[in-house]
Structure 1
Amino acid sequence: MTAAASDNLGFIPAFPARHERRLPLLQLLKTLRENAIGTYTQDAFERDIIIYRLGFKPMILANHPDLIRHVMLDNAANYERDPVGKRLLEPGLGKGLLTSEGAEWKRQRRMMAPIFQPRRLAGFAAIMTDYSERLARKLAALPPTCHVDMAEQMMLLTLDVIARTMFGSDDGTDVSAVGEAMDRYQATVRPNIPDLIGLPRWVPRPAAAEGQRALAEMDAIINGLIQRRRERAELGNDLLGLLLAARDDETGAALDDREVRDQMATFFLAGHETTATTLAWTWYLLSHAPQVEAKLHAELDTVLGGRAATNADYDKLIYTRMVLEEAMRLYPPAHTTARQAMAEDRFGDIAIPPGTMVIISPYIMHRHRLYWQNPDAFDPENFAPEKAAQRRRYTYLPFGAGPRICIGQGFAMIEAVLILATLAQKLRARLVPGAKVAPVAKITLRPSPGLPMTIQPR
């Protein structure tokens, strides 16, 4: 469905057409590989629980907040990440926070938590603003007829930020090559048919040679950084230094090189691409909503008055956060998650046998007819403080929920707010007339084929 405008509902941004009934199996599998959110039927956005099978696998689409709480919090120990997701992510991310389970995940979480305390995050804010101001000057100097891909620009900007916050004291290292390798790897990450229909693990899965080469390049750079840092007298206060200095408060053990590598790869993906896609979609939405943009500019003029944004401004930029939260509602970067029941379970009258896959889709929940008014419209007022206070828990899940809620949530929100505030204070971005943009669900929910825009200095 292409973008549309309505006087009553506001701007209706692009989303894939919703089918009246489930697609035939072969078409469903093909669409799942190409764009997972293109498989959804209309009733997925209207019903709270849907039970079905995909090949040999029993599935439950969980749109009920209480079922989501049950799976992700109350009985989380019985639900592990789905094998398909782990097989897709582990080659690149290893056994980091995103892919580990059980006692190993708890140990990692204990060790990572001090790194993401607010006092640490405040120290990274100046880096976020500095790189944003550099980009603002570069974009404002472009000719008015020049087209720039804002999705690509946001990727490059967040790459600069995560590289500096992760490896800041290793000046001269071509960390951008890590981002390029990660991007090439992700382009090869697609679910295989044997995975999707639940065939046994011994059935061969095709491997992407390009993805393996990209991983090898990424590992060579990260492992080199780890070794050079270990040889220094001072580990540094960037994320790499903090990881190397981290100790388990129960055992006193440190992370070995492989564990450090896996956490760095995880932070790189989660701290780079997710924020970039949120910002890209925000520019797309603002381009079609001049009234929202005007209200955003008014807040920036009042709070900042032309000066650079700082960490202290975060709590004052209320409407800026509302705009970003609404962008994540419509286009959540982490669009789908799945959990597999390890033992027999029950939710009300519904039996959940072992091996059942429970699908939790923030993309669906954020547009569900039962929980949102005008759910397909762009309306930052959904996140006005008084309205947000009345919202039912587990209907808004941009960072997940339960014990495994994203540990970098605070980092991501500070980064997104400071970047948007810095850039929007200096410029406007307008989608090129006639450009067609659609959300495509890979590892994250990206605008495809890109986001061609013209820049107007304020």
Structure 2
Amino acid sequence: MSDPEGVRHFLTINAANYRRPSVVRRIGVPLGGSGLFLAEGAEWRRQRKLLAPTFTPSSINVLVPHFHEAARHLLHDAEGKPSVNLSRAFQDTALEAVLRALFSMPENRAREELSALVRGYIEGAGRPGLLDGFAPSDNSFGFALGKRRRFQSKWFAAIAAIIAQRKAEPRSADNRDFLDLLLQLKDADTGEMLSDDEIRDQSATMFFAGSETTARLMFWSGYLLTLDREEQQRLSSEIAAFPPDRVRMLEDLANWPRLRNVLLEALRLYPPLPHIVRQANGPDTISGTSVAANDQIWASAWIMQRHRKFWQNPTAFMPDRFAGKSAPWVQMPSYIPFGVGPRICIGLHFALSEAQIVLAHLLARYRITVVGTRLVMPVGRVTIEPDYEPMFRLERI
């Protein structure tokens, strides 16, 4: 379904009739448990209502110092090197940012092991296979789920240990992170705090959603800027007029409108997720097409955001098309990089803020170019990845 009205029908108007298919759950549950990304129905509504306050601008302001530290980590690692693999560097930086924002984890062996554990899953057992596509349920073909279950056991145990330590040693009010926000949440109806398992699942969900997709956004934005030197120079001038170290809260990011537009255009050309997939609970009609129970509906941001019916010069890199658009995911029906409707990505402001701060630090110090002339092509897996990881040359400004 590539018609914006049809997409909004099954993701917004009649969203209650659709669920995530087993293939998504088979890959996602080991990473995020029963967190917000995979919850359904009344449980999803309860979680969304509970978590909404943690993603308001005032809450994300608490995390801005962590984004700066992650950016400085990137610059430190790149210093003095003739060329850098920015795809891998952005993945490391995004993991750095989310570990700091989630748990305030300093650089140590435990953090490296946690990052390596998740990266190993994403690049290995977390990739969908043939059996996932044919599986009628979450636990079908159980013989093929061993690696995922072993990962889940280690991953959940590691996060549970971090939560237990934080509860035993609370942090000061002026040095908070996302875990502190979760520990303070209360159900408005019952007054109950989140259980340890719920905090674990939300933290695990945030870890993946706030790292892998943001890393892809930063990579494709950087790559596009190497293809458009003039746009990169305009960005450098914008950032020089308001250096990154002056950013203290989200409202300061308004000083970089061009940088934001570059990110929005990168999300249009290379949306983090190639498809949004739902499975029908019962019969329906979408854009005149009959849908039966258990039919799968696929919406492709890749197709909609590059379709000549919806966009002028759809394959061109034109950041100015987003000028003046405060919320294009609402204002532009064919723009769905964060999804659409009630399940639109709750962390979109988190991702955009992190990407702006990290890229601003990089572009304030360096001009970036790609080594060689081979084009980087997109590959749709769990996220939209580069077909190879090019080396980038960083020229000190």
If the length of structure 2 is used for normalisation, what is the TM-score?
Answer: 0.91
The residue type paired with residue 226 of structure 1 is I
Query: Does 2:185 match 1:249?
Result: no
1:33 aligned residue: none
The residue type paired with residue 69 of structure 1 is R
The residue type paired with residue 90 of structure 2 is M
Cα distance, 1:309–1:322 mapped onto 2, change above 3 Å? same
Cα distance, 1:211–1:344 mapped onto 2, change above 3 Å? closer
**Contact 2:63-2:178 within 8 A present in 1 as well:** no
Query: Does 2:222 match 1:283?
Result: yes
The residue type paired with residue 336 of structure 2 is L
How far, CA to CA, are the matches of 1:383 and 1:185 in structure 2?
35
Instruction: Say which SS state the counterpart of residue 339 (structure 1) adopts.
Output: strand
Q: What residue ranges of structure 1 are gaps of 5+ in the alignment?
A: 1-61
Higher strand share: 1
**Contact 1:177-1:218 within 8 A present in 2 as well:** no
2:95 aligned residue: 159
Cα distance, 1:436–1:384 mapped onto 2, change above 3 Å? same
**Contact 1:129-1:310 within 8 A present in 2 as well:** no
1:385 aligned residue: 324
- 1:373-393 CA distances to partner (integer Å, 9 max, x unpaired)? 221222212212269879963
How far, CA to CA, are the matches of 1:231 and 1:391 in structure 2?
43
Instruction: Give matches, 1:104-143, under 5 Å.
Output: 104-139=43-78, 141-143=79-81
Query: Does 2:22 match 1:83?
Result: yes
1:230 aligned residue: 167
Structure (1 or 2) with the larger CA radius of gyration: 1
Higher helix share: 2
Q: 1:418 aligns with which of 351, 357, 365?
A: 357
**Contact 2:62-2:177 within 8 A present in 1 as well:** no
Larger displacement relative to structure 2 (160-169 or 394-403): 160-169
**Contact 1:278-1:327 within 8 A present in 2 as well:** yes
- 1:14-60 CA distances to partner (integer Å, 9 max, x unpaired)? xxxxxxxxxxxxxxxxxxxxxxxxxxxxxxxxxxxxxxxxxxxxxxx
Cα distance, 1:388–1:126 mapped onto 2, change above 3 Å? closer
Instruction: Say which SS state the counterpart of residue 346 (structure 1) adopts.
Output: strand
Count how many residue pairs are aligned between Structure 1 and Structure 2.
393
Cα distance, 1:194–1:233 mapped onto 2, change above 3 Å? closer
Query: Does 2:261 match 1:336?
Result: no
Q: CA deviation at 1:450?
A: 1.5
The residue type paired with residue 278 of structure 2 is R
**Contact 2:183-2:193 within 8 A present in 1 as well:** yes
Instruction: Say which SS state the counterpart of residue 110 (structure 2) adopts.
Output: coil
Instruction: Give matches, 1:43-192, under 5 Å.
Output: 62-139=1-78, 141-143=79-81, 146-168=82-104, 174-187=110-123, 188-192=125-129
**Contact 2:265-2:317 within 8 A present in 1 as well:** yes
**Contact 2:18-2:279 within 8 A present in 1 as well:** yes
**Contact 1:147-1:452 within 8 A present in 2 as well:** yes
Cα distance, 1:288–1:189 mapped onto 2, change above 3 Å? same
2:153 aligned residue: 216
**Contact 2:25-2:138 within 8 A present in 1 as well:** no
If the length of structure 1 is used for normalisation, what is the TM-score?
Answer: 0.80
Report % sequence identity: 32
Q: 1:370 aligns with which of 309, 316, 335?
A: 309
Cα distance, 1:337–1:291 mapped onto 2, change above 3 Å? same
2:210 aligned residue: 271
How far, CA to CA, are the matches of 2:282 and 2:71 in structure 1?
48
**Contact 2:280-2:293 within 8 A present in 1 as well:** yes
Q: CA deviation at 1:126?
A: 2.2
Instruction: Give matches, 1:421-436, under 5 Å.
Output: 421-436=360-375
**Contact 2:274-2:384 within 8 A present in 1 as well:** yes
Instruction: Say which SS state the counterpart of residue 298 (structure 2) adopts.
Output: strand
**Contact 2:329-2:335 within 8 A present in 1 as well:** no
- 1:141-188 CA distances to partner (integer Å, 9 max, x unpaired)? 324xx2211011111112111111111177857223222111111222
Q: CA deviation at 1:219?
A: 2.3
Instruction: Say which SS state the counterpart of residue 319 (structure 1) adopts.
Output: helix
- 1:52-90 CA distances to partner (integer Å, 9 max, x unpaired)? xxxxxxxxxx11111111111111111111222112211
